[in-house]
Structure formats: C-alpha cells, structure tokens
Amino acid sequence: MTALLSELSRLEESGRISKEQAEFHIRLFTIQAEYRKRWKRERLFQAPKSLSEKIKNGEVIVEFGRVKIEEASLKAIFKDIYQLLGDGKKIEKLNIREVIEKVISNEKDYLERLSDKLKIDKNLLFFVSINIASPIFEIIASKLKKRIDEKLWFRSYCPVCGSKPLIQRLKKEDGKRVLKCTICSCKWQFSRIKCLYCGTEDAKDLRFFWADDSSPYRVDVCDKCKGYIKTLDERKLSNDREIIPKIEDIATTYLDILAQKEGYTRIN
C-alpha cells in the first residue's frame, strides 16, 4: 500500500495524472487494503492436489466460484467501491458473487443484460467487480506463487485467475518479456516474438511504436488481429523503482488513445 501511494504521489507531482485521479485511486486502494487485511486471516481457497498437472495443461488454477468468502463481505466492499464512483442509484438483491464470476470469465452478454435490467452502465459494474476480485485473487496468488513453475507456464493469460495483463515489461537485466496480472499480481515470462492475443509469431505482423522514443513506455501491436498491449521497457528507466501495473496503466492512458486512433483494440 505504501508503494502504491508513493507512486501515485510521484505521478501527480510529475503531472502525468491529475490531482483528482490521484485522490480517487488513493481512496480506492485504501478500501481494497482494508478488506485485504481482513481477508488475509481467512482461508479463501484450497489449492487442488493436481495443481502441477493443471499448470502443465494450461488450466487456470482458481475459479471464483470455489473461493470461500461470505456474501455479506462481498456486498460490503461492493457498496464501498460503488459509492466511491458517486452513483446515487441503489442496487438491491444483486448476486455479487455471480456478477464477479461472469466478469472474470468475460461473459459480456450477461453483463449487457444485467446492465439493461438495472439501468446502470455496464462499465461501472465491470469496474466494481474487477476491483473486488483483485484483492481476493492477490491474497490467493501470494500463497500459490512458490508452487507455480514459470518454466511450465508460457501462456498469454494468468495461471492463477486467467486474466490478460494490461501492461507488460521488458526486464532491465536481459530484455526478457514479463507479463504481470493486473488483477492478482502474478507474474510469468512470455515469448518476445508472439502476439498476446492471436498467438501469431510472424514478425511482419508484430511491431511497436512510441509517443516519444526516449520514453520507457511504448505500444506493441499486432496487425493480424489488431490487438495491442502497453509495454514498459525497464532498460530505459533512469532509476530502480517498484513497477505497479495498476499505476502504470493509469499513467499511460495517452498510449491507449494513440493505439485506438490507429485502429487497434486492447483485448481483455
């Protein structure tokens, strides 16, 4: 939490995010930290005995439906984050667990139907659900990371929760491509010459561009599927600092705008 707040302050001071953005995310991360502290004392997930086999077969380890967490607790954090967004509409009799399950499994039709039924923006429901799931999956991932062999997991999605990363890194030491899950913070390596979305390894379809070639931030795009992912090249960083994907994503919104103007889509 201290690192998150420090990085937000640094970005605000540099003008890369506004004061309002910094204040909003400080409040959001504070809410998550409070529930994370509470949930750490609980046994949220029992790792399967066949964990190594699941990793070998490319199966995601954690299904949200198997997470043991009280419905009252989910409703409480939903209310806290929902109110933070300033929407005055009351939501009653909502199955929070089901909503999170559907969001994590990317069931867009479900979210569309629910949004129409409740007369609430689907992006708001998505945002709240993801930010409830994040501290839960982070706790579980922290307990599983020693059992996840990166040499057996060279896939484009997170081994713990199945999510696609929002931002990737090129390591300072050797330039290797590292993916870090924005939801649970699990990290793993991935091939340098391969599309994260369609899997093509044809170099002529894969390229990248910057807004500023001296910046450590760039956009990697695929001309075959028109997908893109933002990249932080640590070799261009002037000093060592903790890389926090959530913060890096917020601070590089200008790259999303550039990529989308060029006709590329972030697929997640």
Q: Per-residue pLDDT tens for 53-93?
A: 888 899 999 989 899 999 999 999 999 999 998 776 777 77
Show Cβ contacts of residue 128 under 8 Å, excluding neighbours closer than 6 positions.
78, 81, 82, 85
The residue ranges of every structural domain in the chain are: 2-147, 164-261
Count of C-beta atoms within a 10 Å radius of residue 135: 23
pTM of the entire structure?
0.88
CA dihedral 197→103→244→238, nearest 10 degrees, is 30
pLDDT at 241: 66
Beta sheet of 177-180, edge-to-edge order: 187-190, 177-180, 167-170, 228-233, 217-222, 206-209
Provide block-wise average pLDDT over 10 residues at a time, the chain (268 residues): 77 84 91 95 89 89 92 93 82 87 89 90 92 95 86 88 89 90 89 94 95 89 96 84 77 92 88
pLDDT at 240: 67
Partner residues linked to 130 by β-bridges = none
pLDDT at 85: 87
